Amino acid sequence: MRVAVFGGTGFVGNYIVDALHGAGFETSLLSRDGGDTSAQSRRVAGTIDDEVAIRKTLEGCDAVMYLIGILRAFPRKGITFEATQYDGVVRVADAARELGITRFVLMSANGVEARRTPYQVTKYDAERYVAEAGFDLTVLRPSVVFGDPRGRMEFATQLYRDMVRPPIPAVGFHTGWRPSAGVIRMSPVHVEDVADAFVEALRNPETIGQTYELGGPEAVSWNDMIRRIAAAAGRRKLLIAMPTALMRVGATLFDWLPFYPVTRDQLTMLELGNECSPQPIRDLIGRDPRAFDETSLSYLSS
């Protein structure tokens, strides 16, 4: 089986492509710069707004995986949630339907049903579009994904760079005005577990029509995540409590600047939390997912 993968060169996509190859699948990848083509992996040069390249990527394929997503939009550069997370899905789905491809695996995100931010709205609308188009669809919604970044952007590495490495206290986000009143929790999930879940979702027909939230074995507070990242990097870190409402004031003034660390929409999603049960990914991969601990974060010490 050959799988057309859109977003296969990103952090999570790179691991998913490796897992597909390890499971015996062939892939066809849309890549901005093209690249080497092998017996197991065909590469097509192009972008997600290039309908000709999309069609070439899909030709001869039996299934589609759409993995493209962004965490921050830069409209002045033409990088928007609408273009990346919805319009791209529509183009791929329409071309796949014309070519007779019926199997579709879509990466969404945990918490999109809240539809409180453009990130969530475009992810959710993409789910609905593909479902209503009549595909044999499986949707996977990971929580925050961590693991060796292989030179790409990754959650824990970014927190280390922005919060742990600087010689100043890290920000301990919380909702409300008292730290104990609004603990923020997430369910960090290891990238290799996510990759295995995508492969299992593709090859198991019982997943068709299902949506899976993918989370690690525990819900970890924001402060504990910072402490564990610091410990994995061989450091200790002081945290200063910071209500998200106060941070929102700065974001309102400056989040249009690329260097500002957080946007208003990111704060909204932070306040909503990102917890989910580990049971869905456990059911898919047949084992307990990896913990967000010093062992799994050991790549931060290199």
Instruction: Quote the pLDDT of residue 74.
Output: 86
pLDDT per residue over 189-207, tens digit each?
999 999 999 999 999 999 9
Class of domain 2-301: alpha beta
Question: Which of 108-117, 121-130, 168-177, 247-256 is most confident?
Answer: 121-130
Instruction: Quote the pLDDT of residue 229.
Output: 97
Secondary structure class of 185 (helix, strand, coil): strand
- Is 214 within 8 Å of 107 (Cβ atoms)? no
How far is residue 245's CA from residue 175's CA, in Å, rounded to a whole number? 7
**Average model confidence (pLDDT) across the chain:** 92
pLDDT reading at 182 higher than 80: no
Return the structure tokens found at 194. 């996510």
Instruction: Quote the pLDDT of residue 260.
Output: 58
Return the structure tokens found at 79. 């990088």
CB atoms within 10 A of CB 252: 12
How far is residue 199's CA from residue 21's CA, in Å, rounded to a whole number? 10
For the chain, what percent of residues have pLDDT higher than 70? Answer: 93
**In terms of C-beta density within 10 A (0-12 exposed, 13-18 middle, 19 or more buried), how is residue 242 classed?**
middle
pLDDT per residue over 52-70, tens digit each?
999 999 999 999 999 999 9
Return the structure tokens found at 202. 């593709």
Mean pLDDT, to the nearest integer, of 206-230? Answer: 97
Give rounded-to-5 percent helix, strand, coil for the chain: 45, 20, 40
Spatial CB neighbours of 69, under 8 Å, sequence gap ≥ 6: 7, 84, 85, 107, 109, 123
- Is 139 within 8 Å of 197 (Cβ atoms)? no
Amino acid at 260: Y
Domain ranges of the chain: 2-301
- Is 115 within 8 Å of 124 (Cβ atoms)? yes
Rg (CA), the chain: 19
pLDDT per residue over 287-302, tens digit each?
999 999 999 999 999 7
Instruction: Quote the pLDDT of residue 277.
Output: 97
Helices (H), 80-166: 81, 88-98, 118-132, 155-159
How far is residue 98's CA from residue 134's CA, in Å, rounded to a whole number? 12
Return the structure tokens found at 44. 């097509």
